[in-house]
Every structure is written in structure tokens, then in C-alpha cells.
Amino acid sequence: LFLFCGRRADRIKGLLWQQDGFLLLYKRLDDGHFRWPRDKNEVRELSPQQLRWLLEGLSPEQKTTVKRR
């Protein structure tokens, strides 16, 4: 999955390869913006949990997490 974000940072596009072609995903936040890298040095891979946080409009870098029992 490759993610792309424009200048406004309230919209995100995803490009996912499947066996028969690409799938284009699009998400727009009604309020707020995505926490997106500003330069090439900030680009990195995300874990599935960090991706979920990003798509929910949260920062992929959470200061604390609650551990499940």
C-alpha cells in the first residue's frame, strides 16, 4: 500500500496492488488534517496499528498506549 497526500492534508489517497490490477482508495477528513511527513527524511514504513491511527485522523506516533489484558 502506497499512501499519497496533497498540500491541504485533509485528503489521502492509497494505491494497493492486487493480483489483477491496482485499487485506488480515497479518504477525506471532515474536520482536521492528516499528520503527514513534510520532507523526504520523515518518510517511513507504518505498522498496521500506525496505519489505522493515521486513517482515523490521529498521529501515527502515539505517546502512550493502553495495553490489553
Q: Which structural domain range is residue 20 located in?
A: 2-56
Give a yes or no: residue 12 inside a domain.
yes
User: What amino acid is encoded at 40 in this protein?
Assistant: K
Q: Please check the confidence at residue 20 and state whether its pLDDT lies above 90.
A: yes
Whole-angstrom distance between the N-terminal and C-terminal Cα of the chain?
Answer: 31
Give a yes or no: residue 50 inside a domain.
yes
Give a yes or no: residue 63 inside a domain.
no
pLDDT digits (tens, 9 = 90+) for 21-49: 999 999 888 888 887 777 788 788 888 88
Give a yes or no: residue 68 inside a domain.
no
Taking only Cα atoms into account, the Rg of the chain, rounded to an integer number of angstroms, comes to 13
Give a yes or no: residue 14 inside a domain.
yes
How many domains does one find in the chain? 1
Q: Please check the confidence at residue 54 and state whether its pLDDT lies above 70.
A: yes
